[in-house]
Amino acid sequence: MSTTLENTVLKAEGRKKLFVAQATNTHLTLAQQLSIFAVATLTSKGASGVQGASFIALVGTLMVVPSIPVAGMALILGIDRFMSMFRAAVNVIGNGVATLVIARSEKDLDARKLRDRLEQPV
């Protein structure tokens, strides 16, 4: 079973690789594109829980399609850290909302207790 963050990392990894291919004017066949997404599916499992691991997985996955120059990763290096932090923040918020939705649907949410906890100073 995959988590929301793993799915987000998977989608982002595929898009990054295709972006680098387009930016370096590298033509990819459909088979190459599918192999990129297949390998990204496998590498996203380990990369979702570690800050910055997605970039390492991205470079490693590029070996699947050697026609994409690894030097193209310099295009992504500067923004990848911020994207990774943003993905993590969205995942934390999403997991919190999902927890509340499930707790409410299971009638296990004490709204008064939740409100009291949220009103307490940090």
**How many domains, the chain?**
1
Alpha carbons within 13 A on the beta-carbon side of 115: 3
Asked if 59 and 70 touch (Cβ cutoff 8 Å), the reply is yes
pLDDT digits over 87-115, tens only? 778 878 888 899 999 999 998 988 899 89
pTM of the model: 0.58
* Structural domain range at position 32: 4-119
pLDDT at 101 (0 to 100): 93
pLDDT digits over 31-85, tens only? 988 888 888 777 766 665 566 677 777 777 777 778 888 788 888 877 877 877 7
